[in-house]
Structure 1
Amino acid sequence: MTSKIAENVVEIRVDDIAQLFHTLDPFPFREKDLDREAEEYIVGWARELPADRPFRIVVHFPEGQSQTDLARDLPEALGKYFAGRAGVIQGDLNELFRIGRRSLAIGVAILVACLLGSNLASGFLAEAPFKKMVEESFLILGWVANWRPLEIFLYDWWPIARRRDLYRRLSTATIERKLYRRETRAGVTSSNAP
């Protein structure tokens, strides 16, 4: 008995397969960049679907283009594009963590200096209200210096990791090609036209 897991399906219909790709991209078909609008459409729909199922991307295009290089290379081109984007996003995440580590080192050093400054202020200043204000100011400054690293390590990385995971899932999606007949003005299909 086989268990069939339901797939997330993203469907896109184009009048020309070339619409999917960036027109000014100089690379051959398998290396082409996806058109920004096509990427936003696919990613937008994929983001709305459950994360626990595999993806299937169905591309509808005219039957006259079924034997073109673009049609043949479409699954590989989409897979490579989304894998490349996942790699770029992983690089962004690595950079964010690098900034977080550097910020944390600076923040901890400032916190230690502020704690020392607070202790020195409590020992050298005689006037009680002014002494308390200086001590508290040092403590506040020390914790504020750690605000950004804490924000990075607690919150900022989640959306980036989710986006990376989405692109990784899209890179392994099954790409299905479906043909349709183009209709002319009078409602006659182009294959029947003289």
Structure 2
Amino acid sequence: MSDKTRIALDVRDVEQLFSTFDPSPFHDFSLNTTAAQYIASQAWYAPPRNRFVIALSIRGKPATARDAAKLQDVVRVHFTRLAASEHQNLRQMIRTGVISLGIGLCVLAFCTALSRVVDNSSLPDGWREGVRDGISVFGWVANWRPAQILFYDWWPVRGTRDLYRRLQEATVEPGTPGPHTAEADEVAPIDTMPIAADRI
């Protein structure tokens, strides 16, 4: 079994792959949004240990070595930047989840103590049970958001970060269009992609 995943990229001119406006204070080239989404979407379902090879062609003919080298530099810079951003997002998400969990547990402890007070109060039975159960439910609901973050929300962020890290190591070489090369505009954005179980 091959350990490479080939991504065929056919363009009219290599310059159309690059962003014409980069708001960062650095003068690095960036991939334009359409090209980056296309490359990421083609890479998404690749086996997790495969390395990526981008086969670049110009109007159906293999690109020059100079164009391939330029694209490789831009791909490395672009996806390194995206990987760093996603790593920061992951760290912030985990931090938010831990802080939210601490707050949620404090609320749960307070609600548990308050429900015991209500349970020992002189309220009529129906009122006492209703108020006690309502307080208990509120205490558990306060932990819903941290549980969602710490059990579920971080998976897509880590999966995207790991994909970007793999793409920053991709090699670009002159090639020819593959049989399934698609127009980049037809490819789903990265944030709509599902998370495969073997990425977690």
Q: If the TM-score is normalised by the length of the shorter chain, which range does it land in?
A: 0.7 to 0.9
Give the equivalent residue in structure 1 for 2:42: 45
| Identity over aligned pairs, percent | 32
Instruction: Flag the 1:33–1:143 CA change in 2: closer, same or farther, 3 A.
Output: same
Q: Deviations over 1:69-123 (max 9, x none)?
A: x654321221121111111011111111121112111111110110011011011
TM-score by length of 1: 0.81
Unaligned runs of 5+ in 2: 178-200
Q: Which has the higher contact order (CA 8 A, sep 6+)?
A: 2
How many positions carry a matched residue from both structures? 174
Letter in 2 for 1:162: G
| Counterpart pick for 1:111 among 108, 113, 124 | 108
Could you tell me which amino acid in structure 2 is paired with residue 12 of structure 1? L
Give the CA deviation at 1:178: 3.7
Bigger Rg, structure 1 or 2: 1
Offset of 1:61 from its aligned partner? Answer: 2.7
C-alpha distance in 1, partners of 2:156/2:82?
Answer: 15
In the superposition, relative to structure 1, how do residues 179 and 6 fare at CA in structure 2: closer, same or farther (>3 Å)? closer
Q: CA deviation at 1:52?
A: 2.7
Counterpart CA distance in 2 for 1:86 and 1:106 is: 30
RMSD: 2.3
* TM-score, reference length from structure 2: 0.79
**2:87 equivalent in structure 1:** 90
The 1:40–1:14 alpha-carbon spacing in structure 2 relative to 1, beyond 3 Å, is same
